[in-house]
Structure 1
Amino acid sequence: MKKWRSIAAGAGCFSLLFTAGTVPVSASDEITEIPEQSIVYWSMWEDDEPQADVIREAAEAYEEATGISVEIEWKGRKISDLIGPALDAGEEIDLFDDDYQRMIQDHSRYLTELDKMAETMNYQTHIMPILREQMKKWNKEQLLTMPYQPYITGVWYDRELWEEAGFTEDDIPETWEGLLKVCRKIKNSDSGLNAMTCDENAVDLLYGYQLARYIGQDAVLRVIRNGTWDQVPEALQAAKDIRTLFFAGYMSKEAPAPEHEGQNEIGNGESVMVLQGSWAPDEIMKETDSQIQWGFFPWPAPAEGKDGTEGVMIGAQGFGITESSEKKQESFDFAYSLCTGEYDMKMTETVNSIPADSDFTQWPEAIADARTYLENMTTPYMWAAGLERSEGYKEEIREELLRLVRLTETPEEFIAHLSEITG
C-alpha cells in the first residue's frame, strides 16, 4: 500500500495534483491510502528519442510521488493508425498522444472531455491561447487534449550560409518573386551552395503553403473535399511554382531526399534553406553534430495571392485520456506534469521546442527568431494547409507531388490526376 497526499478537486471528490516532483498538501493535510496501480500510456515516440527521456523521467517522478506507475508502450508515429483498432478491440489504454489536431478530428470518439479536471487546476490558463482557440473550434468548445511541444512551420536558414551567399536580414523575402530572386542569386554565385532542400515527407508542405497563399486555407479544404482541382486555376499555378524550384535548380539535386537527408544538408554546409517545422533545427544539429545560428521567415506570398505572411502553421502534440479509462484523474495529473512546470521546461530544453506552458516566455535560442512571426500570426494554418485532412488521400497526393517535383509529370498532368483521385 502506498500513501499519497491529495487536494480537493470539487465537491465530494479528490484529485492528485502533481507538479515538479512534489506532492501538494490540502488544507486538512489528509492522507489517503490507495492500492498499487498503474496508468497504461501509449506513446507517439520511439524509446530512443530525446522526448522519451523526458517522459521517462517524469513517469519515474510521478511514481515516486504517488505510488502509481506509468506503463509506457513506445508506438512511434504509427500510433494514429494503431490506437483506434486497439481501443475498438477492448485494449486497456488510459492515455495516448499524437498530433493534437489529428487526435481531436480523427479520434474524438475515444477521448474524455477534460474541462472539469482542467478547471480544478486552472489548466486552461497555461495553454497557448492560439492552441486553445483551435482545439475549441475543432470540437464544439470541448477540451479533449492537452497540448505539449508546440511547433511553428516556415523557412529555416543558416545565418552564416545566408551571409556567405551575400545576403543580410534586409534580404529576407516576403513575396514569392523575392524568394525566386534569392534562390537565383545563390544558384548563380560562386558559393557552391544549394538555395533550398527538402525531404520526401515535406513536399506536401511546399505545395500546401503555395496553394493556400493563392486562395486561402478554407478554399484549399473545399478543393480537396469537392475534387475541383481542374476548376481552380490557382491549383495549377501553385503546381507550376513548386515545380520551378526543382526545374530551375534552386532545390538541391538530392531533393526530395529520404527523411532527414535533405534537411541535414544544412548542417553539412551544403544548402541554405528548408521549409519545415520547428523541430528541424534541433534534429539537424544533433544528426550532423553542428552548431548553427538559425534564422526564420514564413513562406512568402505571390503578388496576386489572398494570404500573406500573417498565415503561419502552428501545431502541437497532445495527450488524450481515453473514455474507457478507469484512471482518468491519475492520467490527467501525469499529463499535466508534462504540459506545465518543470518537465515542460525540460522538454523545451532537451529538444529546442516552444514551451507548452504559457507561463514560460523564453524560447530556446535555436528557434527564437520565429517568435515574432508567431506573435504576429493572424491566420493559423494546418499542416500543409489541410492537404492531409482527406482520409486516405495523404499518400496519394504525396505520390503525385513526388512525380511533379521529380519532373516525371507536368503540372497539367498533376492536376488531372488529383481530379481523378478525388473527383
Structure 2
Amino acid sequence: MKKSKLLRALCGVCAVGMMLTACGGTGTGSSTPAGESGSQAASSGKTLTYWSMWNSTEGQAKVIQEAADAYEAATGIKINIEWKGRDVKNLIAPALDAGEKIDIFDQDYVFISNTASKYAADVTQMVEEAGLEEHMLPVLVETAKSYNDGALKVIPYQPYTSGVWYNKAMFEAAGIEKVPATFDELLDVCEALKASGVNPMTCDQGDGTALLVGYQLARYLGQDGVLDLINNTKWAEVPEAKKAAEDIHTLFANGYMSEYAPANYPDGQNELGYGETAMLLQASWVPNEVVQNTGAEIEWGFFPWPAVEGGVDGVEAAMVGAQGYAIVETSEYKQEAFDFIKTVVTGETDLKMAQAVSSIPADTANTEWPQAVSGAEPYFKEMTKSYLWAVGLQENGNYKDYIQEAINQLCKQEIDATGFIDALSDL
C-alpha cells in the first residue's frame, strides 16, 4: 500500500514536469538563472496567491486544485487558491488598489483584457518564448490583443462558443432532417416541433433574452452596427433594428417559445433536461449545467444562430470567448505564475477539465471534444468573427439596464416591435 502511494506521487510529479516543458522553454519574468526554466530554478518555500472565479465544489476548481498540488510537488512552490466565485469580478480591483498581494486571478478573458488590463502583466514575451501561442485559439489571442495595442495580457482557457443547443431525439421525432441555416427555416423547424407536442424553444430572463435580441440584431447589422445603434441611439433611424425586434416578437407570439419563457434562471434551460423543450440559445456551458441541475441524459445537437435575408453576418460569426488567467503586474513571481498557468491550459490538465465539465479544450492539440459539445466543433472551426457577449447589448453602462428592460418587455409581449424601438429611442 505504501509503495503504491509513493509510486503514484512520483508519477504525478513527473507528469507536471512534462507539462511544464511541453510547450517549449519559458520566458523571462522574475529573476531566473541563465539556461534554466522558471520551474527548474524555483526554490521551495515560495507561495503564490491566486484568486479564482470558481467555487471550490465546481468541477473546474477540482481540476485546478489538482494541478496546483502537482505543481507544488514538482517545484516546491505553493499555489494558495482563494475560491472567490463569480464575485472576483467585482472584488479584484478594490483589492489590488488597496495593495493586497495577489499573483494570479481569473475571469472572462475580455474582462481581463479590457476592464482589468491595468492590473495585468503583459505576457506576450513569455507566451512567445514558451511556444504557447501555438496551443491557443487564434481568434481568442487576436481579440485579446486588440484591446491593448497588440499586447497580450491574458492567457485564455476553457473556451466557449454560443448558438442553439437542441435535443436530437426531439428533432427526429418531429421529422426534422436538417438544422436551419436561415431564420425562415428556424420558424419552419419551430412549427414542426410545436406540431409534435413539445415546446420548440425557451429562454431565461437576462442573458437569455439579451442573446436572442443581440444575435438577431447582429445578423442584420454586424457587431459594429449594433454598437453604433446603442452608443449613438440610432434605434429609430435603422429599419433593421425594428425588423429584428419583429422577428423575436414572432417567436413568442406564434407560440414557439415555452409558456414559461422568459423564465427565471436556470428554470428555462432546465426545461430541456425535463424533456419539455427542444432548443435553447446559449453558450457551450449549458449542456453541463443542465445535466448537473436535472440529471438528464440528452444527445445534444448544435447549430449557429441562423442568418437573415439581406443581413451582414451569418454562421461564421458568434459569441466566442473563454475564461482567462491574468498575472498581476505587481507580482514578484511572474515567471512562476506563468509556469503554473501553462500546466493548467495545456496537455492532460486541459483535457481533464474539458472532460470534467463538458467544455471545449483550450489546447488546440487536444482535438477530442466531450460528446455533449462535440456538435459545435465543425462550426467552431469556421468561425471568423467574434461577437461581444450579447453582441454588446450589455456593454454600455449608461444604457444596459434600460435596454434589458425593453428586451424583457418585448419577450413578455408587453410591448411590440414599435414599442421596443420607441422605448429605446427615448434614451
How high is the sequence identity, in percent, across the aligned residues? Answer: 47
Alignment of 1:32-51 (within 5 A): 34=43, 36-51=45-60
- Cα distance in structure 2, aligned partners of 1:338 and 1:295: 28
2:370 is aligned with 1:367: no
Aligned to 1:193: 198
The counterpart of 2:339, out of the listed 329, 333, 356, is 333
Residue 16 of structure 1: CA displacement? 7.8
Q: Tell which deviates more after alignment, 216-225 or 380-389.
A: 380-389
Aligned to 1:261: 267
Q: 1:268 to 1:17 in 2, by over 3 A?
A: farther
SS of 1:262 mapped into structure 2:
helix
Residue 280 of structure 1: CA displacement? 0.7
Is the CA contact 1:16–1:329 (under 8 Å) kept in the aligned structure 2? no
SS of 2:265 mapped into structure 1:
coil
Aligned to 1:29: none
Q: Tell which deviates more after alignment, 249-258 or 114-123.
A: 114-123
Residue 137 of structure 1: CA displacement? 2.1
Is the CA contact 1:16–1:330 (under 8 Å) kept in the aligned structure 2? no
Report which of the two has the higher share of strand: 1
Q: Provide TM-score, normalisation by structure 2.
A: 0.89
Kindly provide the CA deviation profile for residues 216-273 of structure 1, in whole angstroms up to 9, marking residues without a partner as x: 1111111122122221111122112112211221111111112121111111110000
Is the CA contact 2:27–2:125 (under 8 Å) kept in the aligned structure 1? no
Q: Tell which deviates more after alignment, 342-351 or 376-385.
A: 376-385
Is the CA contact 2:53–2:84 (under 8 Å) kept in the aligned structure 1? yes
Q: 1:17 to 1:273 in 2, by over 3 A?
A: farther
Paired amino acid for 2:198: L
Q: Tell which deviates more after alignment, 81-90 or 343-352.
A: 81-90
Is the CA contact 1:100–1:147 (under 8 Å) kept in the aligned structure 2? yes
Could you tell me which runs of 5 or more consecutive residues in structure 1 were left unpaired when the two chains were aligned: 26-31
Residue 13 of structure 1: CA displacement? 2.8
Q: 1:205 to 1:337 in 2, by over 3 A?
A: same
Alignment of 1:368-407 (within 5 A): 368-407=374-413
2:146 is aligned with 1:141: no
Aligned to 1:97: 106
Aligned to 2:182: 175
- Cα distance in structure 1, aligned partners of 2:398 and 2:159: 26
- Cα distance in structure 2, aligned partners of 1:35 and 1:237: 63
Q: Provide TM-score, normalisation by structure 1.
A: 0.90
RMSD: 2.2
SS of 1:39 mapped into structure 2:
strand
2:328 is aligned with 1:319: no
Residue 336 of structure 1: CA displacement? 1.1
The counterpart of 1:13, out of the listed 32, 42, 62, is 32
Kindly provide the CA deviation profile for residues 190-232 of structure 1, in whole angstroms up to 9, marking residues without a partner as x: x321000111131111101000001111111111221222211
SS of 2:262 mapped into structure 1:
coil
Residue 119 of structure 1: CA displacement? 2.5
Residue 275 of structure 1: CA displacement? 0.4
Q: 1:310 to 1:290 in 2, by over 3 A?
A: same
Q: Tell which deviates more after alignment, 284-293 or 152-161.
A: 284-293
Q: 1:150 to 1:8 in 2, by over 3 A?
A: closer
Paired amino acid for 2:117: S
Q: Tell which deviates more after alignment, 128-137 or 342-351.
A: 128-137
Dislocated runs of 4+, deviation >3 Å: 4-12, 14-18, 392-396
The counterpart of 1:244, out of the listed 237, 247, 250, is 250
Aligned to 2:118: 109
Kindly provide the CA deviation profile for residues 140-183 of structure 1, in whole angstroms up to 9, marking residues without a partner as x: 11111000000110001110011112212x3x111111111111
- Cα distance in structure 2, aligned partners of 1:243 and 1:237: 10
Is the CA contact 2:28–2:126 (under 8 Å) kept in the aligned structure 1? no
- Cα distance in structure 1, aligned partners of 2:316 and 2:294: 32
Aligned to 2:291: 285
Is the CA contact 2:48–2:333 (under 8 Å) kept in the aligned structure 1? yes
Q: 1:404 to 1:16 in 2, by over 3 A?
A: farther
Residues matched between the structures, number: 403
Is the CA contact 1:246–1:405 (under 8 Å) kept in the aligned structure 2? yes
SS of 2:166 mapped into structure 1:
strand
